[in-house]
Amino acid sequence: MKILVPIDGSENSLRALRHVVSHHGGSGEAIELHLLNVQAPIASGAVKMFITQTQLNDYYRDEGLAALKEARAIMDGSGLPFHYHIGVGEIAPTIASYAKEKGCQQIAMGTHGRGGLAHAFLGSVATRVIHLTDLPVLLIK
């Protein structure tokens, strides 16, 4: 089973990852985890006048790797196969399209991430992912 776990570096996203690892790690079921960090694009034309695309890509990579650091350590200790990827774009649509592209059967994510203003009961990214995908979405509080 392929499971996508979006990771933004927040404790909630790491809690979702730990839940998946603990519930599937010893189950004997073949599992493959995909960790995805999504970086919001820097869209301002003024910013792009002063930095190169290479510098921008390096920034996205550095920020993504920093957000994935603890999640990768958890996975390295789990012994489960995993892949990690850093995407750039709108967060929820990028999560939904990555899951579809990689043939994931489930998305497991925290109910709230690093976002500023969230919905009262469920984070805005989680809510959008639910609406954008046909896959089962496991929300971990």
What is the model's pLDDT at position 119?
Answer: 39
Domains and CATH numbers, the chain: 2-140 (3.40.50.620)
Question: Could you identify the residue written with the tokens 């694009």?
Answer: 41
Concatenating the DSSP letter of every residue in the chain gives -EEEEE--SSHHHHHHHHHHHHHHTTS-S--EEEEEEEEPP---HHHHTTS-HHHHHHHHHHHHHHHHHHHHHHHHHH---EEEEEEES-HHHHHHHHHHHTT-SEEEEES--S-SS--SSS-HHHHHHHHH-SS-EEEE-
pTM of the model: 0.88
Residue-wise pLDDT tens for the chain (141 aa)?
A: 999 999 999 999 999 999 999 987 666 678 999 999 999 998 667 777 788 889 999 999 999 999 999 999 999 999 899 999 999 999 999 999 999 999 999 999 998 755 544 434 456 899 999 999 999 999 998
**φ/ψ of residue 81, rounded to 5:** -70, 140
Angle, helix 11-24 to helix 53-78, in steps of 10 degrees? 40
